[in-house]
Structure 1
Amino acid sequence: MDIQMRLYWEAYSETFTTNDLIRTLHNPLRDYENEFVDGAIVDIGCGQTTFLLDYINTNRKLIGIDNDQYQLDLLKNRLDELRIANSKLGLLNLTLLNDPLPLETYSVVFLANILHFFDLVQCQKIINQLKLNLVSGSFIYVWAHSDKYYRNDLNDPENNEYFKHYFTLADLDSLFIPSGFERLLYSETERLFSKKEMKTQEKWLEKFLDHMEIFDKNERQSIKDEELINNPENDIMCIYKLL
């Protein structure tokens, strides 16, 4: 994780309490919980996940995977804050496509805010890697930036430098349905940040400008005026079930 993102997540942790995350969680897989097969609930690219927190009081084995130890440490701090000692929870520092995933049955896999950091060929490799741990009835939740995302500019030669791909429904179906999945849910959303989220952005930018040693008031204000724009975020979300 680069310093820019590290400072953002620092600001995020200072602004959003664990209770905030739990209260605002939208988990459509709750509608299908009586269909879950035996196995672990796995959040890949978990960050400071709320999905695992949603199942923390169940008897399920929970696995959080992230390639940044800083995020995993922040998540552990949140769990400690809740005074929850779940011996079935494992937090693993692993990198997709480089490190092998834990070999066991996955009942549910969350791929939230992760696939757009990979191109379609890499995404297919990720699905193939996951299928080693899936059984008939396993669920996969996908949330990724859609092709309507405000940063998606096909005329920009650096369009896919940071986010490697912006998804359509056809893209996701090409990854999952040919491999024997049934799509149970599909949704596209557009939303603006809340005031609290924008305050987080401002706090992050202040930290980053300090790090860059930009202290001139006029220059700082010019950068803030350019960066602190509440652009609508467009995302696509699907739930797939392995047949």
Structure 2
Amino acid sequence: MNLGVLVSGRGSNLQAIIDAIESGKLQDRISIVISNREKAYAIERCKKHSIPYVVIKRKDFPSREEFERAMVDILKERGVELVVLAGFMSILTKTFLSAFPMKVINIHPSLIPAFQGLNAQKQALEYGAKITGCTVHFVTEELDNGPVIVQACVPVLDTDTEESLSERILSYEHRILPQAIKWISQGRVKVEGRIVKVEGAKYGTLPVNPSLEDF
């Protein structure tokens, strides 16, 4: 598949996709990376790996609708078949999502539907949760609440800080995001209402975490 990746920050999940492609675990290609922040470190990753990128900032457009249409136009020009939000800190509306129906996925650092929105790791700590994790889901107009493709569970330790918990969750984000892309690329993902079924998906001995196959 041709992938379009949307980023806002350091781009560690973008790097996980790049690594999976370069190692042969993913047979897909990144056609374009769009950043809404010109100083995002993710851009440096694009330069290092010769991946085309463009910066499109919300403030350069009179409306969110025009901002989103500009992104859609570039993604369409590049033949993008799946849009991946990898730390993209902007809520997408119907203008964008209708252009790629059920073809936009996001990685979120909690077990959706728990701890939606910003600072999910901090929310988990303040709530006193004993288990949290990360989720790859299809993006809908409702924030962090689309159909779940894959999740990984991470224990919350008594000694955890927001930073330590975030880093531990991130290590799983780097695994489940490429895995979800691979399943979609292989045509194994079927959506029935809110339920996502992955044909032939393997699960390990831990009932809460998938084996993640190659990842």
TM-score, normalized by length of structure 2?
0.42
Q: Which structure is higher in helix share?
A: 1
Whichever of the two has the greater Rg, that structure is 1
Higher normalized contact order (CA 8 Å, seq sep 6+, divided by chain length): 1
